Amino acid sequence: MSNSQSPTSDAAAPQTGTTGSNWVVLKFGGTSVASIAGWRCIAAQVRRLQQDSPLLVVCSALAGVTNSLLLLAEGQCDDVEALADTIIARHQQLLVAAGGDSFDPAMQLLVGQFRDYLKALPGTVIASAKQPGKRLQAAQQAQLLAYGELLSTTLGVQLLQLQGVAAIWRNSRELLQAQPARAHHPEHHAWLNAECDMVADVKVQQQLAAALHAQQAQVVLVPGFVAANADGATVLLGRGGSDTSCVYLAVLLAARLVEIWTDVPGLFSANPRQVGNARLLRHLGYMEAQEIAATGARVLHPRCLRPAQLAGIPIHVRSTHQPEHPGTIISDQARDFGAQVKAIVSRHGITLVVMETLGMWHQVGFLADAFAVFRQHGVSVDLVATSESNVTCSVDTGEQLLQQQQLQALEKDLQAICRVRVIPDCAVVALVGRGIRTMLHRLAPAFEAFEERRILLLTQAANDLNLSVVVASEHADNLVHQLHELLIPRLARIPEESVFGESWQELTQDQAKPLQSRASWYREHRQTLLELAAQHPCAYVYNLAVVRRQAAVLQQMRSIKRVLYAMKANNNVHVLRLLRALGIGFDCVSMDEVLYLQQATDAGVDEILFTPNFAPVTEYQQALQMGLKLTIDNGFIVQNWDGLLRGREVFLRVDPGQGHGHHQKVKTAGVHSKFGIPLNELAQLAQRCQQLDLRVTGLHVHIGSGLTLPDNWRRSAELLLGLLQLFPQVKVIDLGGGLSVASKPGDDDLDVARLDQLLLDVQQQHVQRGGAEVAFWLEPGRFLVSEAGVLLARVTQTKGKGDVRYVGLNTGMNSLLRPALYGAYHDIVNLSRLDDAEQQLVNVVGPICETGDIIGLDRMLSRCTEGDVVLIANAGAYGAVMSNHYNMRTPAPELILGMAQ
């Protein structure tokens, strides 16, 4: 396949006589290429560099496309045509945003090939209501997943052309040849995790430079992630393989520089999305960068660093959001700052394999035998700890495409030589830096953070670059926060020679303004809020106009027949009355909620859906007696309470098998969530319903909170529609809630219009297949009320401890529990000094006698003094309803803006 474009009038001719030794190779990730802003950045970088160097750009697939294709590859997709339509539509929308109209001939040809390939897939791969489809073979997976990068880069040539940048397309399968599979690797490894030769090729350098010159082009565009084996068949370089492609191609071209462009301006001392005070790492050596990448940083793939090191090619990690920032430089010229912890990182998706037997004591060759089994199954061991009767090792199951089958087979074969125990759902927390062994005495105070957490494994790297601890996954994020606070220095002034640069908060301070302008109705009502604060020590204040606005957004969705408010989010009577007046129904999770709602609003039973979880039988009895619509989320109820349900109508809540959300504790699906009926129980449950004459008239799913991708609801809708074969009397598909609310800089708004269109498409396709008309419902909570509420509190004291500054408030986790409970982020401003230019980095804390009474860590606030009014935004959901009287402190009362108090 070949693709070239005619030169534009302002296209600059590349340097002539280039031998390839001056090449620069750039890589842009999925988030960068998924927006027209990202492509504008790509065009700008080409213009910046083209005068000095021939350029090659490597691109990933559009964000989310590979994941969608992977669902199909794993037999989790029940509508291949809809999948193809969605992926192609995303590329079409990108073209339109760039000012284009229709795909060029090269893109049209590729789109046709993509559709033909999907149509030719065996029918067994398609999922049904009763069971998932059959997983594709590794070679088929490679061919399917490669389409993501092929589509993005083929379209990319056209997108650059529209911006006046002439580009030529080259097939990475013609440039990168995978090495033969190693004897100890399983067959799929050669297809899905291939490695390539790392040798410069002068001939390829000259050919590409000549092609640029001949076509008066400015850049060569190449798909990442994809290579070919010796037979010319498509292979992949593993998830995150576009980084590796980029460096392989840089080695091939003997490039002078690699630039990896992503959505953050470099590597940080922790995940900046989780730790606001994470500091940019300005300069790193290859080995340090590899440790940080391998132990959890997602900015670049660890496999890309070794070939860069061997070839001596420096890597610059930069951000498309802040292209002027120099980012992180990785090279062999990085200065040695001595023994120092530079990063605290975590990696989830870890499984521990524990091997126990007294027979290993003084037994020659036990470890060799055990690791031979790991090798036989192609499972790579990460961390290892040994004793006289126990060997424990960690396996990263988060990135392996064929993980579960391998792990089960591994466990079975290991049992022949020892007792085996597998501990899933773990995480590694690693301290990364130079000279870890020489500074253990300085690390000692930090280990108090592990006091109440069970350590499952502890190892210290042989290269003295990291100390790793394995804990239960749920503890990892909090540990990273605590350890970062203890071990990474805060710098009021950054020395020129420091490895540490600006904090994430400082770098994104300007980016916070769009968030404040959208969700900060409090600016308009600042004086009123200050007057209310003068009357109340602390208070929640709700703006009902915002609730009305959010309700209108959902009621305008053509795909949604009914909106139910999840009243557990905020049960203020004025909020409830307004929503009922707007025609919104209610989802209640306890009988007390039902009775409270009816008393407050006179809501009828036809306006309420009752969705209890592990409630006593008396609540179900009362609900049925009242005539409420009842949701059952446990097969136990149908199997054991037959007298209660015989002849009734109910909804069933289904667990799709995987949850999503902004925190582990708000994921409401999957084996580690208590909600919903597993898919594998539904067929038997349908038979039981028939025996009881129990009519299932609604199917319900809710996978979590804070969901940002509209595709989540599309998949849920398709899943539930597929279950109509089992439950043909269903008239309602309840898609739950979880609609995200942007709460911090960098968060994306949920694209409600796209969600609406996706659901309309699903409904249309269902009808076209002969399906009966079914109504779609939504159950939002936060989306309706979060932005409507603020929490006002007063500054009681301030404190400085070293470089750490604290601002204390007169209320804390007794009024707002979310930050302490699951690390929720709330925007915080000093309302008394809202527009003061002077800013300081502080921790905002409450008066409760708990270390966890933290409202916000590492926040940039106007300088605070005693008596200032601090406003905590996005507090309208799960605030007052979760308040408490801990320490016998009275929580904040609730007020309505503009209403006499």
pLDDT at 680: 82
Q: How many CA atoms lie within 13 A of 333 on its CB side?
A: 8
* Cβ partners under 8 Å of residue 442, min gap 6: none
Active site residue 418: no
Kind plus residue range of the DSSP H or E element containing 108: helix 105-119
Hey, what are 542's tokens? 């709700």
Which stretches in the chain have pLDDT values below 70? 1-21, 128-131, 183-187, 296-297, 359-362, 398-404, 452, 490-497, 509-519, 657-673, 704-708, 745-748, 900-901
Please give the backbone phi and psi of residue 528, each rounded to the nearest 5 degrees, phi first: -60, -40
State the catalytic residue, choosing from 246, 689, 849, 864: 849
Q: Are 85 and 761 in contact (CB under 8 A)?
A: yes
pLDDT at 296: 67
- Amino acid at position 147, single letter: Y
Distances (CA, A) of 747 to 582, 708, 737: 29, 9, 18
- Single pTM value for the model: 0.68
Alpha helix stretches (DSSP H) within 332-472: 366-376, 403-414, 440-443
Hey, is 378 helix, strand or coil?
coil
CA–CA dist 740, 751 (Å, integer)? 10
Hey, what are 837's tokens? 């230019």
Indicate the pairing of strand 340-356 with strand 283-284: unpaired
Hey, is 524 helix, strand or coil?
coil
Digit-coded pLDDT (tens) for 213-222: 999 999 999 9
Q: Are 420 and 353 in contact (CB under 8 A)?
A: yes
Distances (CA, A) of 711 to 717, 750, 765, 845, 848: 10, 11, 16, 37, 41
pLDDT at 548: 96
Q: Determine how many CB atoms are found less than 10 A away from the CB of residue 884.
A: 12
Q: Are 655 and 677 in contact (CB under 8 A)?
A: yes
